[in-house]
Structure 1
Amino acid sequence: MKKVMLLAAGLFLAMTSFAQAADNKTTEKKIEVTGSSEIEITPDEIYFQISLKEYMKGKTKVEITALEKQLQKAVIDAGIPKENLTVENVSGYNYDWMNKKKNPQEFMASKQFRLKLSKLDKINIILGAVDAEGIESTRITSYSSSKMDEYRKEAKIKALQAAKTKADYMVNAIGEKLGGILEIQEINTDNYVDVRPMAVNYMAKSADGMGGGISDVDFKTIKVRAEVRTVFSIK
């Protein structure tokens, strides 16, 4: 009987201790805050699309191969690695679809190229070295940074530091002291830009020989943002 009573007493004490521990845990003082940061960077990976098209010069067709050679030479002369110029698409259309005669000169081909640049300072020279009538369109398709992973990491660190600073001054305001970190949750980390492709105005050479080029390109910066949720204990 004594053994049973001792066992029951021990079980009661264990349950009481567990209940007290659970109660202490639920009443632990803590503070939950979010922190965010934003880094603005200049892109160094710019993808520029150039579309070339065949056209009739009098009765002679200017071939796409000739236009492509002009573009390739212009890229190399500008000091850009030739592998930075790649073909995106090839298409064609019938110059005179109403004409039933099968004349090879009536089929006009077009070719889209993607040029990778670190900045746009040489694009005027490149486009100026290509037959203006053979340039169908040009535009910036996308841009990014070669150090994007580093910037994302930096943004996360700054967001966490901002959360700690916020929690610290809020706790100090009520005469308490901030304890250690209990939880960290990454809410959002991304890079965002104006995703609309920016058309680049290319003015063909006029009859008086005056050259054209890119007109007032408003190049936007990339913003890398990070946000974290944190929970700190209060001493």
Structure 2
Amino acid sequence: MKKLFILAIAAFFSVSAMAQQADLRKKISVSGSAEMEVTPDIIYISISLKEYLKDNNSKKKVEITTLENQLFAAVQKAGIDKENLTINNLSSYAIATEKKKNPDFLASKQYRLKVSDLNKFNDIIGAVDVKGIAYTNIDSYDYSKIETVKKELKIKALQAAKAKASYLVEALGDKLGSVIDIQEVNNEQYPQPMYRNTMMVRAESADAMGAAPADIDFKKIKLNYIMNTVFEIK
């Protein structure tokens, strides 16, 4: 009997605790959104240079150092800091070894170039011997003030949610209370770059020193944030 009494008391207090924990506040759930499109201003491009034979004559090889010097000079002329051009592979030792084994070996090197203006990239590529360019390709891109834009959009989305909740609640003669819950929905879109002309420049298909630089058209980065909120109704 005593055990049953203790169990009944425990059950009573358990139900009371659950009742106290239940949120009986009047609430309204709304969403607010904000979006913006920005043009990428940080672009990483891979460039591959490769030695070639003039008129298929092994004695008239255009060395990789010649092509490198052309690239370095073009980057400098474009006003781009040398730190923005880096080597993607460390193959100098392998190149030297292969050349000792095979005098006809054609060396290649890959670079990564950071630019903020694609017109400068076109100027740079146009200054390099086109037959020495194996290919170029865009690795990635970004926007320099992306974090500032994200912060502003999240704030605007929250403000939009609050404004919506306010006029809905006031339409019923109530007042909006403080926020109870906030959930962020990220809809960022980083579309792939669109090419008006192919960016792959093949030495074997290029006219001698006469290929036009690639013409690239970027789609903008679209940032969209939705803030799901819950407000108390007073």
TM-score normalized by structure 2? 0.76
Is the 2:51–2:107 Cα contact (8 Å) retained in structure 1?
A: yes
Match of 1:139 among 129, 137, 140: 137
* Counterpart-to-counterpart distance in 2, 1:121 and 1:114: 17
* Counterpart-to-counterpart distance in 2, 1:197 and 1:64: 30
2:219 counterpart residue number: 220
2:109 counterpart residue number: 111
Is the 2:30–2:230 Cα contact (8 Å) retained in structure 1?
A: yes
Structure 1: tracts of 5 or more residues without a match: 1-14, 95-101
Is the 1:70–1:130 Cα contact (8 Å) retained in structure 2?
A: yes
1:36 counterpart residue number: 33
Structure 2: tracts of 5 or more residues without a match: 1-12, 96-100
Post-superposition offset of 1:201? 5.5
Tell me, yes or no, if structure 1 residue 26 matches structure 2 residue 26.
Answer: no
Tell me, yes or no, if structure 1 residue 120 matches structure 2 residue 118.
Answer: yes
Tell me, yes or no, if structure 1 residue 72 matches structure 2 residue 76.
Answer: no
Superposed CA offset, 1:170-192 (max 9, x none): 2233333222222223x234643
Is the 2:177–2:233 Cα contact (8 Å) retained in structure 1?
A: yes
Is the 1:36–1:226 Cα contact (8 Å) retained in structure 2?
A: yes
Is the 2:135–2:202 Cα contact (8 Å) retained in structure 1?
A: no
Change (3 A) 1:196 1:74: closer
1:184 counterpart residue number: 182
AA in 1 matched with 2:38: I
Post-superposition offset of 1:226? 2.1
Tell me, yes or no, if structure 1 residue 51 matches structure 2 residue 48.
Answer: yes
* Counterpart-to-counterpart distance in 2, 1:108 and 1:127: 20
Secondary structure of 1:72's aligned partner: helix
Change (3 A) 1:64 1:55: same
2:165 counterpart residue number: 167
Post-superposition offset of 1:22? 3.5
Tell me, yes or no, if structure 1 residue 81 matches structure 2 residue 81.
Answer: yes
Post-superposition offset of 1:36? 2.2
Secondary structure of 2:138's aligned partner: strand
Post-superposition offset of 1:211? 5.4
AA in 2 matched with 1:138: T
* Counterpart-to-counterpart distance in 1, 2:174 and 2:67: 73
Change (3 A) 1:39 1:45: same
Post-superposition offset of 1:152? 1.3
AA in 1 matched with 2:29: E
* Counterpart-to-counterpart distance in 1, 2:226 and 2:211: 48
- Identify, as 1 or 2, the structure richer in helix: 2
Change (3 A) 1:128 1:26: closer
Is the 1:90–1:109 Cα contact (8 Å) retained in structure 2?
A: no
Post-superposition offset of 1:142? 0.9
Is the 2:134–2:202 Cα contact (8 Å) retained in structure 1?
A: no
Change (3 A) 1:144 1:150: same
Post-superposition offset of 1:78? 0.9
Report the number of matched residues.
207
Secondary structure of 1:108's aligned partner: coil
1:9 counterpart residue number: none
TM-score normalized by structure 1? 0.76
2:127 counterpart residue number: 129
Question: Which one has a bigger Cα radius of gyration?
Answer: 1
AA in 1 matched with 2:82: K
AA in 2 matched with 1:45: I
